[in-house]
Structure formats: structure tokens, C-alpha cells
Amino acid sequence: MTGAPKGKLPEGGDVVSCWFPYDEKPDERGGKLRPALVVTAESDINGQFLRVAYPTGQRTPDKNAAPLPPHCFTVDPRGGLTQQTVFDFSRVLRLPFTDKWFEPWSGVPTILLCKLTPDQLPSARSARLAGEAITAARLATKAANTKAAAAPVTVTIKQPKRIVQVPRKNPTAEGRNDGQ
């Protein structure tokens, strides 16, 4: 599991099959192959990478339910997607484009499950911007908490005065030198 998956590098708007990692273990594959929405594809001296949005486990709301949060986006079933899938743009990760992270589903020849249609792109962009705002706020809060935790703290501890009693010699008991 070290090579790139078969096929060309996906593009933003592609839905691919991905071993999206759990929050607790971001360097390990998640336990389930999931669809992931490609936000961007990037290449640099370290290789090729995909920024992908997390597919949530929540169901698409029906007409009587509360609407989805603004950072979520729904893709209807088509191609390799078998059900409506909600993607959460507040959970976007940059993953290496390797077969460790991207693998075809059983019976599907490539990792590409489907592509967003041109009429879906404006809604996806709005969800992405909302997700980026949430992520920026989360990072700012984390940085502020880290900075506060790292700041030197001066603690003054007042100790109660210790009273030490020194036994005094009794002048009458020993060595009286008063002339008697």
C-alpha cells in the first residue's frame, strides 16, 4: 500500500472512495471505506494530495426536519453512490493520494464514484466557505487556548508564619547567680 491509486488525480467536485481517518487517530486509516468529496487536488515536492470533505453519518433531512447546517452539502445517489450523502466542510483533511487512503469499492473499477454537476457547484462553494469559517474559528480558539496555556504564570503562595518556641532556661532551677 504505497502507490497511487489507478487512474488520474481527481479534481475538486469529484466524489471518491476514501479511508477517512478518525479524529482521534488522524494518521491511521478509518475503519470504513467512505465516499469523500474532493475539495482540491494539490501537487508539491512531497507528492500528490487531496483535500477531502468528510461524509457525515447523518441522514438527509426530509421536508419536516430542520435544515442542514450551512457547512454541510448533500449529494444525491448516482454513479457509485448508493444513497444520499451529506458532506461536512468543517471537517476537511489533506491526505496523500496513495492507496493507503484511496481505494476502489468492491465492484467499482476506480476510486471515482461520481462528479458534482455544474448546478451543484454554487451550493457546494457556499458550504465550503461556511466550513472554512468554522475551521478558522476552531483553529483561532485552539491557538488562543494554547497561547494562554503556554504563557508564564506567576503564582504567589503565602505561607503562614511559623512560630518557633525556644525553651528558656529556668533561672531558679540551675545556676542561680543572684548572690544566694
The DSSP string of the chain is --SPPSSPPP-TTEEEEE-PPPTT-TTS--SS-EEEEEEEEEEETTEEEEEEEEEPSPPPP-TTSPPPPTTEEEE-S-TT--S-EEEEEEEEEEEESSTTTB-PPTT-SSSEEEE--TTTHHHHHHHHHHHHHHHHHHHHHHHHHHHHHHS------PPPPPP---PPP-TTTS---S--
Residue span of the structural domain in which 67 resides: 14-145
pTM attached to this predicted model: 0.71
Residue 153 lies in a domain: no
Tell me: the pLDDT tens digits for 129-141?
888 888 888 888 8
Residue 178 lies in a domain: no
Query: Domain holding 113: CATH number?
Result: 2.30.30.110
Does 11 have pLDDT greater than 70? yes
Residue 151 lies in a domain: no
Residue 80 lies in a domain: yes
Tell me: the pLDDT tens digits for 124-178?
888 888 888 888 888 888 787 776 666 665 555 555 555 556 566 665 555 555 5
Tell me: the pLDDT tens digits for 71-117?
888 888 877 788 888 888 888 999 999 989 999 988 888 899 889 98
Residue 91 lies in a domain: yes
Domain count, the chain: 1
Residue 68 lies in a domain: yes
Residue 47 lies in a domain: yes
